[in-house]
Amino acid sequence: MIVDIDIGNTRAKWRLSSHGEIVQCGVMDSQSQDWSALSALRTYQPRRVRVSNVAGEAVAQRVRGLAGESFNIEAEFALACESVGRVRSGYQEPERLGVDRWLTILAAWDLFGNRCVVIDAGSALTVDFVDDRGHHLGGYILPGKRMMLAALFGGTSGVRVNTAQVPSSDYGKNTDAAVHNGCFTMTLALIEKVMHQDSEVEGWKNIALTGGDAESLLAHLPDTVVHRPDLVLDGLALALP
């Protein structure tokens, strides 16, 4: 039994698996003080805990404590590095690439085995490009939906938006819709540009989409875009086999 944990800035996803088969999975608030759902997995006697963490050292210490107290094992933390198998980092200082981005790159290459784009629509929107040799070419980092909304809240006195608004690419006929749809359309526009750039090789055909906002984007994207909600967790098995 192996526990894999993907700790992002806002959410932590986890799953318990045995020989590649998922036994249990769940989602929690990254900053929550209640980690009882993970502690309860002690009944399965997991032999490993593999972690991707971008939420800071305090959260990392909490995971280390949980692994030791509940499972009597040491948590293993994935780190971005120069290469894993055929995949090579595109950063001049590989360790400065976010570990969650690195794990999605590994998982996307494992999925496609060819040139591909990885889009993580989470707290931040990240886009990473991998060529046909498995070499990471670099990417983009933009504000995600929540960050864009927060920027409007903080920078304008008259904009107070309902965060439950369902976004679309339609013209907004009230402030809520105008803000949500504007942010949503900006995200779609970037993804569409990515899909059609590098026209000399007919664009990027292998695209993996993950992150908390992925599902809202899928309905507006071609069926060829592959949705993998647990791409970071998939990457943990490749970084820490």
- Give pLDDT tens digits for 55-77: 999 999 999 999 999 999 999 99
Q: For residue 150, is pLDDT > 80?
A: no
Q: For residue 22, is pLDDT > 80?
A: yes
The H or E element that residue 180 is part of is: helix 175-196
Once rounded to an integer, what is the mean pLDDT over residues 212-229?
90
The amino acid present at 54, given as its one-letter code, is V
State the pLDDT confidence band at 153, using cuts at 50, 70 and 90: low
Contact indicator for 108, 130 with CB cutoff of 8 Å: yes
Q: Which pLDDT belongs to residue 93? A: 96
Q: How far apart are CA 174 and CA 189, in angstroms?
A: 22
Q: What is the mean pLDDT of the chain?
A: 89
Q: Which pLDDT belongs to residue 199? A: 47
Identical topology for domains 2-77 and 114-229: yes
What secondary structure letter does DSSP report for 166?
Answer: P
Q: Which pLDDT belongs to residue 163? A: 57
Most confident of the following: 28-37, 127-136, 197-206: 127-136
Once rounded to an integer, what is the mean pLDDT over residues 14-36?
92
Any idea which architecture 114-229 has in CATH?
2-Layer Sandwich (3.30)
Of the residues 100, 110, 120, 128, which is catalytic? Answer: 100
Look up 170 and say whether it is catalytic.
Answer: no
Other beta carbons within 10 angstroms of residue 13's beta carbon come to 20
Superfamily of domain 2-77: ATPase, nucleotide binding domain (3.30.420.40)
Q: Which pLDDT belongs to residue 158? A: 55
Q: With pLDDT > 90 as the criterion, what percentage of the chain qualifies?
A: 63
Task: Break the chain into its structural domains and give their ranges.
Answer: 2-77, 114-229
Q: Are strands 136-143 and 2-7 parallel, antiparallel or unpaired?
A: unpaired
Place of tokens 């085995």: 113
Q: Which residues partner with 228 through β-bridges?
A: none
